[in-house]
């Protein structure tokens, strides 16, 4: 008998189920939703990163390397769950992670374009509680005034309204912080909290966005007061540190009485007064016997010449250690001061040698006065040599 041909119903074919493209995408989306840490490839473009961030709703740590895009559009898509953002440029070989601080966003920037900070401020604003950057910040964006800013391992800018968490952060960095900027309102709270290695302290008023760091050399603490009320000076003696250099800028209510607390700063050697400096203010400095250097004005902001040459000569006679006098003032005032000092009996040094004093003036005035030096008074061109 001829065998019967096989019908279709007689054949059973067993195969593995083939996943659909739709199911692959679903699995990938679900996997991305659980990702908390992501290191973005260096070749990733802004459009790709933007699309990717929309799929990472639970992201907590993000690393972006060599960002060639500059619009900052991707920043606005960072999920609210993100706690740490690290952005590194092409030359970075030793990453500096910011660590987590508070409940907000901690950001570290290394070797990136300067406009990245402005993008961060615009797109993330108050979300940032800690910004760690190697870029030299000249102006603090208003959106970042609530953040701790570490410009480098040695420099910290504290926000207004210092709380216990900020002080804890400061204490943990007390071995490395050498420059610190705080608001005037928070200065009284820092008694006993200053890092042991601190060398420069900037105290700024509410309108100041560009901290002015004081010069520093030798031992002690250098302090700059910037746009603050004059009563801020009263807190300096309570810091528990020897103030060696003090620079006061843009304090419109400076009076003789407001400088009285300086007599309780026996280490004070160098004083800068910018703005209005009347005779009464200079006369009040007679109670600072250790004063060796006085600057009236600076290279960028001259002193308002409300003082007279007679007041300067009285101060030189009363402060026996005063040996360097910097003047940024009108030519008439400079000539009058030089004449008055030459006519003043400067006395003698402790070793018996005749006492001398050096008058430092800007270049244009120096050309006019250099030929008139003598009688114990030298004239030098003003140079800012402290670092």
State the residue range of the domain holding 70: 34-150
Residue 358 has pLDDT above 70, yes or no: yes
Predicted pLDDT of residue 263? 85
Closest CA to 234 of 253, 254, 200, 258: 258
Whether 71 is covered by a domain: the verdict is: yes
Whether 174 is covered by a domain: the verdict is: no
Long-range contacts of the stretch 174-179 (C-beta < 8 A, 24+) = 178/154, 179/151, 179/154, 179/155, 179/213
> Are 84 and 62 in contact, with CB atoms under 8 Å apart?
yes
Domain total in the chain: 1
For 31: left if phi > 0, alpha if psi spans -120 to 50, otherwise beta; the answer is alpha
Distance CA 282, CA 33 (A): 68
Residue 359 has pLDDT above 90, yes or no: yes
Whether 191 is covered by a domain: the verdict is: no
- Mean pLDDT check: name the lowest of 22-26, 198-202, 288-292, 368-372: 22-26
pLDDT in tens, 186-201: 998 888 778 888 899 9
Measure Cα distances from 350 to 86, 109, 212, 320, 353 in Å: 59, 54, 36, 10, 7
Whether 363 is covered by a domain: the verdict is: no
Whether 13 is covered by a domain: the verdict is: no
Predicted pLDDT of residue 15? 45
Whether 236 is covered by a domain: the verdict is: no
Whether 113 is covered by a domain: the verdict is: yes
If you write DSSP's letter for every residue of 235-256 in order, what string do you get? Answer: GGGGSSS-EEEEEEES-TT--T
Whether 60 is covered by a domain: the verdict is: yes
Mean pLDDT of 285-308: 81
pLDDT in tens, 201-245: 999 998 888 888 998 877 789 999 999 998 899 898 888 788 999
- Sign of the Cα torsion 240, 245, 248, 254 reads positive
Predicted pLDDT of residue 3? 46
> Are 263 and 287 in contact, with CB atoms under 8 Å apart?
yes
Measure Cα distances from 348 to 21, 320, 352, 377 in Å: 95, 9, 6, 13
């Amino acid at each position: 008998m001829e065998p019967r041909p096989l019908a279709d119903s007689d054949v059973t074919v067993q195969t593995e189920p083939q996943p659909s493209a739709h199911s692959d995408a679903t699995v990938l989306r679900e996997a991305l939703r659980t990702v908390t840490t992501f290191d973005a490839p260096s070749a990733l473009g802004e459009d790709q990163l933007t699309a990717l961030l929309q799929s990472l709703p639970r992201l907590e740590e993000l690393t972006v390397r060599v960002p060639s895009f500059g619009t900052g559009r991707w920043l606005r898509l960072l999920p609210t769950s993100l706690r740490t953002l690290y952005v590194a440029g092409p030359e970075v070989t030793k990453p500096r992670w910011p660590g987590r601080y508070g409940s907000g966003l901690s950001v570290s920037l290394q070797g990136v374009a300067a406009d990245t900070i402005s993008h961060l401020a615009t797109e993330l604003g108050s979300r940032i509680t800690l910004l760690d950057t190697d870029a030299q910040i000249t102006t603090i964006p208003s959106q970042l005034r609530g953040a701790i800013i570490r410009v480098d391992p040695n420099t910290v800018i504290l926000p207004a309204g210092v709380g216990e968490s900020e002080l804890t952060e400061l204490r943990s960095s007390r071995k490395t912080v050498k420059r610190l900027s705080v608001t005037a309102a928070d200065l009284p709270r820092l008694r006993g909290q200053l890092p042991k290695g601190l060398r420069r302290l900037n105290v700024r008023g509410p309108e100041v966005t560009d901290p002015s760091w004081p010069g520093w050399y030798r031992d002690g603490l250098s302090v700059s007061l910037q746009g603050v009320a004059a009563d801020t000076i009263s807190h300096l003696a309570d810091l528990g540190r020897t103030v060696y250099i003090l620079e006061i800028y843009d304090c419109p209510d400076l009076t003789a009485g407001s400088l009285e607390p300086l007599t309780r700063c026996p280490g004070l050697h160098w004083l800068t007064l910018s703005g209005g400096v009347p005779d009464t203010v200079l006369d009040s400095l007679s109670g600072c016997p250790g004063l060796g250097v006085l600057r009236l004005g600076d290279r960028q902001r001259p002193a308002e010449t409300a003082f007279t040459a007679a007041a300067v000569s009285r101060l030189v006679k009363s402060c026996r250690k005063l040996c360097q006098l910097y003047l940024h003032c009108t030519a008439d005032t400079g000539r009058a001061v030089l004449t008055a000092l030459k006519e003043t009996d400067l006395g003698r040094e402790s070793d018996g040698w005749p006492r001398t004093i050096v008058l430092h003036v800007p270049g244009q005035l120096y050309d006019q006065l250099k030929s008139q030096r003598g009688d114990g008074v030298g004239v030098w061109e003003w140079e800012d040599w402290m670092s």
